[in-house]
Structure 1
């Protein structure tokens, strides 16, 4: 196993523990989960802070989410495609939030590893655009039946998804997809 593969394996073992235990997770717990000795962690990372930085960077990456979105079969009904996409994106956001929260709770605010410069902003914009393109792909088979261009609808859908935690609690995925597809007016009752 190459050094980079070893680091990735350690980070993959650390992420769920970081979500579960917060930054108080020990390197011994991580080593046990990874099936390695604790000293191996310190051969791969200078210290626990460097490992936390690597976990933060991994949590922010969205390449695995894009792969999951690309795997959604386009022959499913639109509601099923969007439900699967919303579930996938929601899980990503939850994991990302939990990791960032745990790292911040440890008193770390991106001092190392997660730069706060223009490059990081560019990466975020690229990730957002790739996510929008993945949703456009899911909408594309139904383009002719939709009232607005799929490019606009992708933005609306993502806005609804990212804003789903409102004042009254979290909106279930099925409700979000239903409102997105059918609006808020009950066709039987009519609107004033």
Structure 2
């Protein structure tokens, strides 16, 4: 029969190296957002419930840990997985809302970490293409109802989500996820769009001494 001491020892087995690294990274991300690169190894150790020496054994130095945490935070795969999990058979309104919610959350997270640690890496071009392909598959059942092909609608949703994630651009006027989904679905008037042909071009206006429209 297993003794109490043996049970305690079996439950106190050290984490595998990769699991320990993941645990430390999870603890450091909120600290980075709060303190930026000024976060100390002592603060990290306290948050993770470990000794400072464990940090250096796992990562070598604090900067390596910070870089690993930033890469983890910016990893696009969790967003891709969340988008793939959206059921294409759901009503269009539900799908658009879910897409906008996930995209805006992603952009807010990226800007949050960039604000405190600076720009860490250039955008990866294929990320946008891959997101668009995933969203296009979600919207494919309604392709005939859309005003643009699903992959183009994906970029429209991305633009709406991206711009709404910048507090400075909103000038104190916040848009909820429901607001943004409604804008994407019905626009500002909710009626068919008539092709607009300007009566006066900017060049004509300049020739006539009229103020141009910018």
User: TM (normalized to structure 2)?
Assistant: 0.72
Deviation at 1:2, TM superposition (A): 4.0
- Quick check: 1:56–1:100 contact (8 Å CA) kept in 2? no
- Quick check: 2:17–2:58 contact (8 Å CA) kept in 1? yes
CA–CA separation in structure 1 for the residues paired with 2:190 and 2:147: 18
169-178 vs 59-68, greater mean Cα deviation: 169-178
Verify: 1:21 aligned to 2:25, yes or no: no
CA–CA separation in structure 1 for the residues paired with 2:155 and 2:42: 43
Unaligned runs of at least 5 residues, structure 2: 1-14, 197-214
Structure 1: 4+ residue segments shifted above 6 A: none
Deviation at 1:64, TM superposition (A): 0.6
CA–CA separation in structure 1 for the residues paired with 2:163 and 2:21: 34
160-169 vs 150-159, greater mean Cα deviation: 160-169
Deviation at 1:62, TM superposition (A): 0.5
Match of 1:182 among 178, 186, 200: 186
Q: Bigger relative contact order, structure 1 or 2, given CA contacts below 8 A and separation 6+?
A: 1
Deviation at 1:42, TM superposition (A): 0.8
Equivalent in the alignment of 2:112? 98
Deviations 1:148-188 (A, max 9, x none): 2111111111112112233534432211111111122244x
**1:71/1:186 CA distance change after superposition, 3 Å:** closer
Unaligned runs of at least 5 residues, structure 1: 115-119
Verify: 1:131 aligned to 2:131, yes or no: yes
**1:8/1:176 CA distance change after superposition, 3 Å:** same
168-177 vs 126-135, greater mean Cα deviation: 168-177
Equivalent in the alignment of 2:156? 156
Match of 1:42 among 38, 48, 56: 56
Match of 1:33 among 47, 62, 65: 47
Larger Rg: 2
Residues paired across the two proteins, number: 175
- Aligned to 2:189, what secondary structure does the other structure show? coil
| RMSD (CA atoms) | 2.4
- Quick check: 2:27–2:47 contact (8 Å CA) kept in 1? yes
- Quick check: 1:82–1:138 contact (8 Å CA) kept in 2? no
CA–CA separation in structure 1 for the residues paired with 2:190 and 2:134: 30
41-50 vs 17-26, greater mean Cα deviation: 17-26
- Quick check: 2:103–2:158 contact (8 Å CA) kept in 1? no
Deviation at 1:7, TM superposition (A): 2.2
Equivalent in the alignment of 1:171? 175
